[in-house]
Structure 1
Amino acid sequence: MRPINFEEFKEKIFVLAKEKGVEVQISYSKSRNFQVRYQNGEMDQYTDAGKFRINVQVLKDGKIGMSYTETLDNPEKVFIDAYENISIVDTEDIEYFYDGKGTYPNIEPYNGAFETLSVKERLNYVEIAHRKVREDERIINDMAVYGDQMSESKIVNTLGLDVSFVSGGGFMYAMAVAKDVSPRSAFEFAIGKKPEEINPTHVGERAKDEAITLIGSKSVKSGKYRVILRNDVFSDILGMLVSMINADNAHKNLSPLKGKIGEKIASEKFTVKDLPVHELSIVATPFDSQGVPTKEKVIIENGVFKTFLHNLKTAKKDNVEPTGNAYGTSIAPINLYVEPGEKNFEELLETLDNGIVIIEVEGMHSGANPISGNFSLGAKGLKVENGKIVHGVEQVTISGNFLEIMHKIEEVGNDLRGFIGMNGMIVPSVLISELDIAGNA
């Protein structure tokens, strides 16, 4: 028997939906992931895998039943499973499908540039970074990782929605460990939509140089310090905002920003947007997981809170337009973008004068509470005196409240970097007027 293709799979399910008098939506995702890791010069991890999945949702009387499959073999069974699952839905919320009539942003899809690389060329990224890390005899341990990924998504439904997009890119990172009283580790990474945007020499050298800089690190006295949250650290801490701007969390009283639209919640120098695409991020999409068009939106403008992020359901509840931020069963930004200031990192150091640059935090999952905004995190840093870095800082804990930190932003740097996690982030370093630091000096 000849295997059916996606179009035939879709048509069979649409026919069944019409017979049952229901609406149906089919989401298709196909991804490929390559990753290789070297540790101390030896390859210890290699992945070259693909995934294929189809989700089927059946909408009846405001309730959605769901089912999924990893083959195209039996559309009838997948539909019936989804249809019957409506009966076990236990919620008063009314669900919706999108009809696809909106205006979608014109985003260039991923062109598959990394797919042209041979395995040898991919391994070369790791080998170059590894050699650079180990050029200094003080480095006693190292790790380097290279990866690239591609994802194709498609959403169709019986209301007329029919959208598809291909996203992807590459990344690499390196870790270096320098010999000291206790080992000093440092980390550097790069991401890009094209192979030439990833420089393994730079990644290896940055990891090595920072590890060496941290030799001789010591703690500091407990107290309140002016600090710079370096862009990579600020991206971690800014992750607390993701939960706070989720409209569903606000409806459930799980966001401290509930009821604060139009209020000043941050320094006037702080502006945050959500972008469907940015040149420094490999995350890009013209539609969310419900097929709603994505768009640029201002979340915080000069310190004033402007909007929550919505899916179809939360937008209907609040009587606003959906923002194109459905992320599976949750809501999330696509690329959280902090508008840069005018000062580069060296100028931020001069402005800081005396204080600490925080270059790493630990324990975000256990030590940060996005409902209250409170955090207490282990940290590493660099002590700054008269605008110059004088030594590394270890064995300290930073603590505070994220909402208060946003008010204490004195300066926003122009050293934008792209980061990837659940979503993309494009973030500069920021100077904070005061932060509690506990040390043991």
Structure 2
Amino acid sequence: MNKQKWIDRALQLGLDELEIYQTLSTEKEFTWFEKTMDTFVTSKVLSTNIRAIKDGNIASIAIENVDDEKMDEVLKALLEQTEIVQSEENTRLTEKHEIVPVEKTHHFDFLSVEEVEELLGLIEQKALAYDERIAQVAYLGFEQGEGSRQITNSLGVDLKDEDAVQYVACSVAAMQDGEFKDATKIKVVFDKDGFDADEFVKEVCDEALFKLGARSIPSRTCPVIFEKDAMTSLFAAFAGMFSGESIARGISPLTKEIGKKVFSGQITVVDDPRSVEALSNAAFDDEGFPTSRKVIVDHGVFEQPLHSAKSAAKMNTVSTGNGFGSGVSPMNMWIVPGERSLEQMMADMKDGLVITDVTGLHAGLRFTSTQFSLQAGGYWVRDGKKSEPVTLITVAGRFLDLMNDVQEIGNDLDWSYKQIVCPSIWFRQCAVSGE
């Protein structure tokens, strides 16, 4: 695709601005079942999205098989769209900005097919030998991926970056007295030598085994610690409240709260697509705007929303470099961790509940009111120590109220493969429904 040729032709046809956004994704996916490589799938996908603007009206089109011979057909279709579609704002593409390159601190040494096969066989063997109650390795997979994105527009923007990932995923099923419990772990693999198969197997098997014999508990209101993974799931479900698009539309629970206290003073929320701690980072968003570190909530006070160019125009401000996908999205957002470990918080809590997983995030919450009612599991803390496993319970409340009832924030922030992360958080009380 001769991008400059497309841009020149677009301007000749009467379009004011043109942008060409391309992504190239190359993936290898392996699955293993009962001592055999079950599937091995490779894919390479080039996606092209073209945006055009005329008289402030914007039109877009996605193309799979891009070809210069289709240039006039595509551009004329875009021109026709701009004459039909009426944009609320006088939209413009991103102008050329100075982009400071971001440091890439994570590097992957991709395993060969033979090395992947050897590793998956080893994990299965170790898992089945770990404990006689491990009945099956229900799922075992390995994935490698490389991707790139490139943005070129008629205003002089010409940007490109690349990313990669490699990880293993495993689910095991434990059985005892006719009861089945499962657990799943995903682990990023930077290279063959740095991956500890024994530790990985121990983590996933111990989690499944601990769940055996889990029971519900009587309904109550009690101190609750949302362990880091459960806290991340809950927080991520409400992360859209920081979106400038949601605020401009009046559907965010924080629409009228900029500059006001919305969380406990212990809570500080940061968004930084440039973070070198996260697995992926970016110097620019999908609109070509430079990214930056932003304090979204500072000691409980909602300081600023996240913006794309479109949402920023609605609120008479500038983009924060969060124009990802087709809207506004955080990238590398986290709650700043505290000083002490989960175990130390449990010791001080004495008696209470630790939630390790929540389900029903799509059906069990109301975004605008922040009410939630979610199925959950975890374990009871007795005399400050991890005690019996708990299942078949529901945790409920209002997220904004919960985030104002913080006792302490843990120090166990773990980026892993995520782009939104939280440490474990101890809340003074939360409603739990059980038996």
TM bracket, shorter-chain basis:
over 0.9
What amino acid sits opposite 1:71 in the alignment? Answer: N
Q: How does 1:302-341 map to 2 (within 5 A)?
A: 302-341=299-338
Shift of 1:195: 5.5
What amino acid sits opposite 2:116 in the alignment? Answer: R
The answer to whether structure 1 residue 344 and structure 2 residue 341 are counterparts is yes
Q: How does 1:233-272 map to 2 (within 5 A)?
A: 233-272=230-269
TM-score by length of 2: 0.93
Q: Once the two structures are superposed, what CA deviation does each residue of 1:160-216 show, in whole Å capped at 9, x if it has no partner?
A: 111110012222222222113531222222225555554443222101011111222
What amino acid sits opposite 2:168 in the alignment? Answer: M
Which residue of the partner structure matches residue 385 of structure 1? Answer: 382
Shift of 1:237: 0.3
Taking the aligned partners of 1:33 and 1:108, their CA distance within structure 2 comes to 20
Work out which of the residue numbers 198, 203, 206 in structure 2 matches 1:201: 198
Shift of 1:304: 1.0
Shift of 1:350: 1.0
Residues 1:100 and 1:378: Cα distance change in structure 2 (over 3 Å): same
**Helix, strand or coil: the match of 1:220?**
coil
- Asked if the contact 2:56–2:87 (Cα under 8 Å) also holds between the matched residues in 1, the reply is no
**Helix, strand or coil: the match of 2:403?**
helix
TM-score by length of 1: 0.92
What amino acid sits opposite 1:260 in the alignment? Answer: E
**Helix, strand or coil: the match of 1:107?**
coil
Taking the aligned partners of 2:423 and 2:50, their CA distance within structure 1 comes to 40
Q: Once the two structures are superposed, what CA deviation does each residue of 1:3-48 show, in whole Å capped at 9, x if it has no partner?
A: xxx4xx2122111122134211111110112222234555444322
Taking the aligned partners of 1:345 and 1:224, their CA distance within structure 2 comes to 21
Which residue of the partner structure matches residue 28 of structure 2? Answer: 34
Which residue of the partner structure matches residue 10 of structure 1? Answer: 3
What amino acid sits opposite 2:432 in the alignment? Answer: I
CA RMSD of aligned residues (A): 2.0
**Helix, strand or coil: the match of 2:10?**
helix
Shift of 1:317: 2.3
Taking the aligned partners of 1:91 and 1:56, their CA distance within structure 2 comes to 17
- Asked if the contact 1:363–1:378 (Cα under 8 Å) also holds between the matched residues in 2, the reply is yes
Work out which of the residue numbers 400, 423, 437 in structure 1 matches 2:432: 437
Taking the aligned partners of 1:329 and 1:322, their CA distance within structure 2 comes to 14
Residues 1:272 and 1:165: Cα distance change in structure 2 (over 3 Å): same
Shift of 1:86: 1.7
The answer to whether structure 1 residue 426 and structure 2 residue 421 are counterparts is yes
Residues 1:42 and 1:192: Cα distance change in structure 2 (over 3 Å): closer
- Asked if the contact 1:56–1:78 (Cα under 8 Å) also holds between the matched residues in 2, the reply is no
- Asked if the contact 2:243–2:328 (Cα under 8 Å) also holds between the matched residues in 1, the reply is yes
Residues 1:94 and 1:309: Cα distance change in structure 2 (over 3 Å): same
Residues 1:356 and 1:42: Cα distance change in structure 2 (over 3 Å): farther
Which residue of the partner structure matches residue 287 of structure 2? Answer: 290
Work out which of the residue numbers 82, 88, 94 in structure 2 matches 1:92: 88
Shift of 1:415: 0.9
Q: Which runs of 5+ in 1 are unaligned?
A: 1-5
Taking the aligned partners of 1:372 and 1:392, their CA distance within structure 2 comes to 31
Q: How does 1:14-413 map to 2 (within 5 A)?
A: 14-21=7-14, 22-73=16-67, 74-108=70-104, 113-114=108-109, 116-134=110-128, 135-142=130-137, 143-180=139-176, 181-191=178-188, 198-413=195-410
Q: Which runs of 5+ in 2 are unaligned?
A: none
**Helix, strand or coil: the match of 2:214?**
coil
Identity of aligned pairs, percent?
A: 27
Number of equivalent positions: 429
Taking the aligned partners of 2:434 and 2:49, their CA distance within structure 1 comes to 51
Taking the aligned partners of 2:194 and 2:278, their CA distance within structure 1 comes to 11
Residues 1:197 and 1:75: Cα distance change in structure 2 (over 3 Å): farther
Shift of 1:110: 6.9
**Helix, strand or coil: the match of 2:366?**
coil
Shift of 1:308: 0.7
Mean Cα deviation higher: 161-170 or 119-128: 119-128
Shift of 1:346: 1.5
Taking the aligned partners of 2:280 and 2:189, their CA distance within structure 1 comes to 10
What amino acid sits opposite 2:40 in the alignment? Answer: Y
Q: Once the two structures are superposed, what CA deviation does each residue of 1:301-359 show, in whole Å capped at 9, x if it has no partner?
A: 11111111101122122222210111222111011112111111221221221111111
**Helix, strand or coil: the match of 1:183?**
strand
Taking the aligned partners of 2:415 and 2:285, their CA distance within structure 1 comes to 20
